[in-house]
Structure 1
């Protein structure tokens, strides 16, 4: 039974079930190869391994082990390492290879560092933040210390030690009621958290988990979307639209100095510059202002 299995070492399990162990590895490898060859580089990024940091923290991912007694059941030995090695061989270089987890602590950071030390290309660190329980959002509205600036900054500082861009890959903010008050609480929390996340230097993106109400996995809240089930935008949608498409975009008109230069303070990102040349012709150019751009 399962209890007896836990008493065995990975080598003993592989000896008892050599065909199973070999087939498990073959099927895992086949899945990576199938995806890479099907999409042919048409995807921007791929989560190579999801939620494996718990296994790393329990010392279950050991080089040379033929099989892993994972938290989730039997898995190929050292599966995170092998998955990244195979993915970086099969996927084109422009496809970002991500790791993703809910365990936002030092174990996850150390796992990412360990994979890279062993020669894996890990491009993005995915971090999850789910406020699934409606009571959590009521507690935040009441001033209780949940996902406060201090908590979030400390968590992100730990993850930043991996020296990778951070992608908030799954976030859930549940409206604590499907009424005006509940939706407004969701909107205020969303606005405050997005502004906080936007201020984190290595943050490269945020992905809302369930965009439409009542469309999540079984057991997930039905009021955590940005849209109602009928696709009507909720206050949280308008709050994020105001940030992303208005407050976080730089629109300005400037006069050049005698040398033809301009100075302005704006957000990093892609800019469309339009100007009129001395001969009166309209000009346009797209530029990207990033972390290494001085001017």
Structure 2
């Protein structure tokens, strides 16, 4: 066995040795006629990772569709994006996607989804049901009609994007949905009438009917027991939740390892894989701790700083290492690459307003492309055409002479495979 790592440790608790992210692979290489490729040098290189390292793709849409007002900046943004991430989240906020009833902006997001998929990036749609940034024209409808058009909207969009987008935040922030008071909206009216459980049933049932193969998330920012109770209620009602989405917009300070593990301990008990769907860590002044709703903190200028960038880099690396070490977590999405256009104007991006990378960007890139990727190596097959190596889960490219074959390593532990190199 060619060992590139420290020995794995068993268990379901956080594992610094990352045994749950790696496999010990024995692969036999043969020619088309079945004869083993004995005594041959083979270059093994990982080309993709099973774990989801995500970021929103909102800021790239103008670049993708040729509508950029700053082509050089946007081209640089795309280059930095593709240099780290393998999962993209695209915006399906109903009020932006279909501001005028019956005229959804489907083509723009289809173009965005195709661009990412063509580059090997898996895409998620966010969200199908939410009470914020929702269609204003819903306010003109009665509750029964709101429900009907919400159901139609889910089926339409999930069907039209199937094959490009097969992962969705089915419903977002249900804990607060029926009691949301910041603004009147049709979805809160519907949730108040139907209740949280039936809103979840609506979202998951309609999305699954439109695409039975879709991966559907329940997503929320509320990490209290209220969210746990909501999950319990949904499961008891027979609603199938494929993934749990947990948000962590850390505008008031990074969670740190202890709080992150405490949250993971509580939510991993459901046995549902966890996606940390919305992560933000600031590189400037923190929001005051007395602010309860992050949207209530509005400032004219919120700059990044040298001291803040150093802090952000340390906190981001600790956060990602903590999440990656936990076997319940299968994806992490950072909520915005550049400071320009960041939610609330916060300095939470990994790039400065001029597009230059902050230290946190370099830290994350090193983790994703070096620390958590199988190092490229040249190995030699034995007399039976076998070679062994230990690597991270994902797709690997095996090159012998001028021929190349692909090997998908999908499960941790010991993996045995046979690969034909034509």
| TM-score normalised by L of structure 2 | 0.53
Does the CA-based 8 Å contact 1:256-1:262 persist in structure 2? yes
Q: Distance in 2 between matches of 1:157 and 1:257?
A: 45
Which residue in the other structure is 1:171 paired with? 279
Which residue in the other structure is 1:185 paired with? 311
Which residue in the other structure is 1:112 paired with? 231
Structure 2 residue 263 is the aligned partner of structure 1 residue 155:
yes
Q: Distance in 1 between matches of 2:244 and 2:283?
A: 27
Aligned residue for 1:93, secondary structure, equals: coil
Which residue in the other structure is 1:38 paired with? 160
Aligned length: 245
Does the CA-based 8 Å contact 1:175-1:223 persist in structure 2? yes
Which residue in the other structure is 2:368 paired with? 244
Does the CA-based 8 Å contact 1:110-1:162 persist in structure 2? no
Which residue in the other structure is 2:201 paired with? 81
Deviations 1:86-130 (A, max 9, x none): 11112x233211110112344434433443443433221111011
Does the CA-based 8 Å contact 1:32-1:87 persist in structure 2? yes
What displacement does 1:30 show? 2.6
Deviations 1:23-48 (A, max 9, x none): 23223223212322432442131111
Give the alignment partner of residue 132 of structure 1, picking from 210, 227, 251: 251
Aligned-CA RMSD value = 2.3
Give the alignment partner of residue 145 of structure 2, picking from 23, 26, 34: 23
Q: Distance in 2 between matches of 1:288 and 1:113?
A: 35
- Structure with the bigger RCO (C-alpha within 8 Å, sep 6+) is 2
What displacement does 1:79 show? 1.0
What displacement does 1:292 show? 5.4
| TM-score normalised by L of structure 1 | 0.74
Q: Distance in 2 between matches of 1:273 and 1:197?
A: 30
Structure 2: segments with no counterpart, 5+ residues:
1-140, 182-187, 286-303, 416-422
Does the CA-based 8 Å contact 1:41-1:95 persist in structure 2? no
Structure 1: segments with no counterpart, 5+ residues:
1-18, 56-68, 138-146, 276-280
The 5-angstrom pairing of residues 131-280 of structure 1 reads 131-133=250-252, 136=253, 147-176=255-284, 178-217=304-343, 220-251=344-375, 252-275=377-400
Give the alignment partner of residue 284 of structure 1, picking from 396, 404, 421: 404
What displacement does 1:221 show? 4.4
Which residue in the other structure is 2:63 paired with? none
Q: Distance in 1 between matches of 2:236 and 2:279?
A: 29
